[in-house]
Structure 1
Amino acid sequence: MPFARLASATTPTCHIGLGLAAVGRPGYINLGREHDLPADRTVEALRARTHELLDAAYAQGVRYFDAARSYGRSEEFLADWLKARPGIDDVVVGSKWGYTYTAEWTTDAEHHEIKDHGAATFERQRAESVALLGDRLDLYQIHSVTPDSTVLTDKDLHARLAELAGEGVTVGFSTSGPAQADAVRAALAVTVDGTPLFRTVQSTYNALETSAGPALAEAHDAGLTVIVKEGMANGRLAEPNAPDALRAVAREVSLGCDAVALALVLRQPWAGVVLSGAATVPQLASNLHAAAVDLTDDQLARLAALVEEPQAYWERRAQLPWH
């Protein structure tokens, strides 16, 4: 993996990261969120919650933190946390560009974020990210690449991204949608002067949606670090929404459904970092138990039966309400 600080880590939780999508803004699509956050979701309330989570994650060995321009004030909250703890220099900070947050700190906006992969958006958002995170920004990813994304063919943008890589920032991309595997393979073919452009890929993979798995294995074999997002399927794999088969396995291992769901992802040999999207410290603690789960062949077979067709999975995800 391109990050020596992660490659040399030895704690059981070093392959678990903390994603800030659920706490960087008042509205998101995770199930159960109305119980996870305070009713009065002010900027200061979510800043305090984010810092509480970051403190707990760092104390328990987590060393990768993931934000995005569209995650409300997630970059700001993370930057404030880092500035208040100047002695912490062993974490990897990742963020993303390509979506603009447009909800203006509300939960009922018509559009919460707007996607644009143009070079002008890249330059604007890179400046915004650098203004907040400065040289603490280790990884900058294109947000939600799909097979038809212009970023796959925009040579001018590729050159600008290569310049960023030349400045020491790792360049990566994330994917979404039912054709993630196609997007991953298309991105692997992107080169600048014969050199592959991307060094990381972040994709959705969980007990319900496994279609990107073979392509992510190819990316790993090509030398990219694979970061897995939405391992909890936006709350569909957590209590009280978890499928019966997952609940049964969780009872057998005496841990939460969330720990089992994340353990299923962690056991993939190509998974470099698996993100927790916890919104509370107890959720985070439960998520981190995934590092200790050992699943039997029988349990794995029962969990494998949960897989959905990609189109159906993403259609259901698109119907989840922002709240």
Structure 2
Amino acid sequence: MPFARLATATTPTCHIGLGLAAVGRPGYINLGRDEDLGEDRSVETLRTRTHDLLDAAYAQGVRYFDAARSYGRSEEFLAGWLSARPAVDDVVIGSKWGYTYTADWTTDAEKHEVKDHSVQAYDRQRAETADLLGDRLDLYQIHSVTPDSPALTDKELHARLAEAAAQGVTVGFSTSGPAQADAIRAALAVTVDGEPLFRTVQSTYNALETSAAPALAEAHDAGLTVIVKEGMANGRLADPYAPELLKAVAAETGLGCDAVALALVLRTPWAGVVLSGAATATQLASNLHAAVVDLDEDQLSRLAALTEDPQTYWNHRAALPWH
């Protein structure tokens, strides 16, 4: 397991990873992107921004970097950064397949990504990822599995994934939607030749959306590494958008709403890696303060009131504009 190298790390930020969804393409659903990225979102500008973020993250102890085929040029940017820094050999590199980027480097496309969990999509995207990341790829995940995903029942696909695992690539899956817990439990039951197929799970969990927690605990107990995405709820838990209750608790800690929101996730006993989705070095530095946030029982009890009904949360997320 590539994450074993993180298990023995002692830096406070080693269990915070950097996800590249917000910087690998010009359009995304995170709040505040106009201010974060400005008007110049050319390929070269975002390439430079991504490399600067990766440099800042690595310098501050971050050792997991997360991309996807559908994150625009995220794999390309990450591959270029790794190639220019051959001494960086202690990081874990993850990517995902199952969505195709279709926005053609625009922010106003009718569709920004198209989902396809077929064997044919896997074969195509696995080759594309291999061309860019080669043997630097540690983890390959099915992108956004839901309970009705054919990836849960396609035996031919399972055989392909098992082949990748036999060649040294850890195989995992991510989840999205109000039925994440059902998808996680279904994936835990997938086996090849009597052995569990998946070694990692990446799911949305944050102060607003906690419904996957019991299933993620089960995954952890089954030996999977749990990666948490969207700990900031696509910016809803960051200033200036954060609920007043979160702002109040953050003021008590002397740190940002983002640090408190990510600290809530880090303190769960099953979270192996928690992703920052920072778009700027300033955001990243603030996010990394989560590693030192100390919340007392009263603060934790008050923050528990932020939890939303899962359907409400995912309906809100689906309504966020790409910009």
TM-score in same-fold range (> 0.5): yes
What secondary structure does 1:81 align onto? helix
| Contact kept? 2:2, 2:138, Cα under 8 Å | no
CA deviations over 1:53-105 (Å, ceiling 9, x no partner): 00000000000000000000000000000000000000000000000000000
- CA apart distance, 1:2: 4.7
Pairing of 1:78-157 with structure 2 (within 5 A): 78-157=78-157
Task: Report what 2:284 is aligned to.
Answer: 284
The whole-number CA distance in structure 2 between the counterparts of 1:268 and 1:8 is 18
The whole-number CA distance in structure 1 between the counterparts of 2:139 and 2:207 is 27
CA deviations over 1:240-264 (Å, ceiling 9, x no partner): 1000110000000000000000000
CA deviations over 1:112-150 (Å, ceiling 9, x no partner): 000000000000000000000000000000000000000
CA deviations over 1:178-205 (Å, ceiling 9, x no partner): 0000000000000000000000000000
The whole-number CA distance in structure 1 between the counterparts of 2:138 and 2:314 is 30
Pairing of 1:231-246 with structure 2 (within 5 A): 231-246=231-246
Q: Does 1:42 align with 2:42?
A: yes
- The Cα RMSD (Å) is 0.6
Pairing of 1:263-282 with structure 2 (within 5 A): 263-282=263-282
Specify every segment of 5 or more residues in structure 1 that has no aligned partner in the other structure, as ranges. none
The whole-number CA distance in structure 1 between the counterparts of 2:163 and 2:30 is 36
What secondary structure does 1:21 align onto? coil
What secondary structure does 2:29 align onto? coil
Pairing of 1:187-202 with structure 2 (within 5 A): 187-202=187-202
- 209-218 vs 36-45, which deviates more? 36-45
Structure 2 residue identity aligned to 1:75:
E
Pairing of 1:1-323 with structure 2 (within 5 A): 2-323=2-323
- CA apart distance, 1:6: 1.2
Structure 2 residue identity aligned to 1:107:
T
- CA apart distance, 1:159: 0.4
| Contact kept? 1:229, 1:274, Cα under 8 Å | yes
| Contact kept? 1:175, 1:203, Cα under 8 Å | yes
- CA apart distance, 1:300: 0.4
| Contact kept? 1:2, 1:225, Cα under 8 Å | no
The whole-number CA distance in structure 1 between the counterparts of 2:309 and 2:76 is 37
The whole-number CA distance in structure 1 between the counterparts of 2:270 and 2:2 is 14
The whole-number CA distance in structure 1 between the counterparts of 2:237 and 2:63 is 24
Taking structure 2 as the reference length, what is the TM-score of the superposition?
0.99
The whole-number CA distance in structure 1 between the counterparts of 2:147 and 2:294 is 36
Percent identical across equivalent pairs?
Answer: 83
The whole-number CA distance in structure 1 between the counterparts of 2:271 and 2:4 is 16
What secondary structure does 2:306 align onto? coil
The whole-number CA distance in structure 2 between the counterparts of 1:226 and 1:289 is 21
- CA apart distance, 1:267: 0.2
User: How many residues were matched structurally?
Assistant: 323
- CA apart distance, 1:153: 0.3
What secondary structure does 1:315 align onto? helix
The whole-number CA distance in structure 2 between the counterparts of 1:2 and 1:185 is 23
Taking structure 1 as the reference length, what is the TM-score of the superposition?
0.99
Structure 2 residue identity aligned to 1:292:
V
- CA apart distance, 1:5: 2.0
